[in-house]
Amino acid sequence: MSSPFEQLFDISPFPAVISRLRDNSVIAINRRNSEMFGISHADAVGQTTTHYYADLSHRERLRGPLEKTGRADNVLLHLRKPNGETFWARASARVITWDNEPAVLTVIEDISEQLSAQHALEASEQRLAAQSRALTSLTERQADPNDSFDHRLREILEMAVMTLQVERVSMWRFDANRSAIVCQGLFKLTGGVYESGARLGREVAPAYFDAIEKERVIAARDAMTAYWALGSIRRTSTLVSTSSGFCAMVHAKCTGSS
């Protein structure tokens, strides 16, 4: 009959593994561990704990504290499942006695989603900070009343490229009869190139013109649908049209495009 400890170990809601201290071989895993890693108790027993690590150097994050104090808490580890899938986990461990010899009980928690959310939040905060700095800088630069429109536009487009971290940003204007859009300015990150004057006629891409006239904003995820008639243009854009006839495009390379 199983001991109370063994019963509690097996029904724990957190994945847990017990390994032999002298050779790091797995002695036991609980049901939750078996479910998470997709491995049976029989297959896990006898393997070394090194099989669990996606980054073997992370093993020292547990071993160091265990050797000094017999415990390790809230250690961040990059782990790997038998099928090759990796994930991030928070682990805590204790040195225990199992069958009259030293062993290590390790309990883990999958925190991959938490880390992804945290990284996304940090990235968003960094973008907002960069945008705020960019707006402040532009405000200071635009204070000169004698500055030309073309020079101001170049500064705005260049700042947009740097802040949004895209390859190019451009601003286009409809001609008088709205039969074409003419590039007022385009800044490319590669080479720091600035150009203007390109023209795209309605007859070349009627579906594209219909899209930008019907929608004030075409999100990047929908831009390829709007571009089906452009043929050789293989880039997505966030495009904003205005009542004055201007439209701004933020270009980003599509996955798989040249």
3-state secondary structure 31-82: HHHHHHHCCCHHHHCCCEHHHHECCHHHHHHHHHHHHHHCEEEEEEEEEECC
Please report the pLDDT score of residue 8 as a whole number.
82
Query: How many distinct structural domains can be found in the chain?
Result: 2
Q: Render pLDDT for 109-148 as a digit per residue (tens, 0 to 9).
A: 999 888 888 888 888 788 778 777 776 776 666 666 677 8
Query: DSSP secondary-structure letter at 218?
Result: E
Q: Which of 170, 223, 229, 220 is nearest to 202 (CA)?
A: 229
The structure tokens 């250690």 sit at 75
The amino acid present at 119, given as its one-letter code, is H
Residue 56, in any domain of the structure: yes
CATH number, domain at 232?
3.30.450.40
Residue 79, in any domain of the structure: yes
CA distances from 82 to 31, 42, 57, 85, 124 (A): 16, 14, 18, 7, 34
Residue 134, in any domain of the structure: no
244 and 196, same structural domain? yes
Residue 35, in any domain of the structure: yes
Q: Render pLDDT for 168-206 as a digit per residue (tens, 0 to 9).
A: 888 888 888 889 989 999 999 889 999 999 998 988 888
Q: What are the structure tokens assigned to 85, written together? A: 């899938």
To the question of pTM greater than 0.85 for the whole model, the response is no
CATH number, domain at 79?
3.30.450.20
What gap in Å lies between CA 14 and CA 20, rounded to an integer? 20
Surface-to-core class of residue 77, CB atoms within 10 Å of its CB (0-12 exposed, 13-18 middle, 19+ buried): buried
Residue 249's pLDDT band (cuts 50, 70, 90): low
Work out the number of other CB atoms within 10 angstroms of the CB of residue 170. Answer: 25
Q: What are the structure tokens assigned to 51, written together? A: 């099989």
Please report the pLDDT score of residue 75 as a whole number.
94
Query: DSSP secondary-structure letter at 245?
Result: S
166 and 102, same structural domain? no
What gap in Å lies between CA 217 and CA 251, rounded to an integer? 14
18: containing domain: 4-110
Which stretches of 111-211 are assigned E, i.e. beta strand?
168-174, 180-188, 193-195, 199-201
Work out the number of other CB atoms within 10 angstroms of the CB of residue 189. Answer: 16
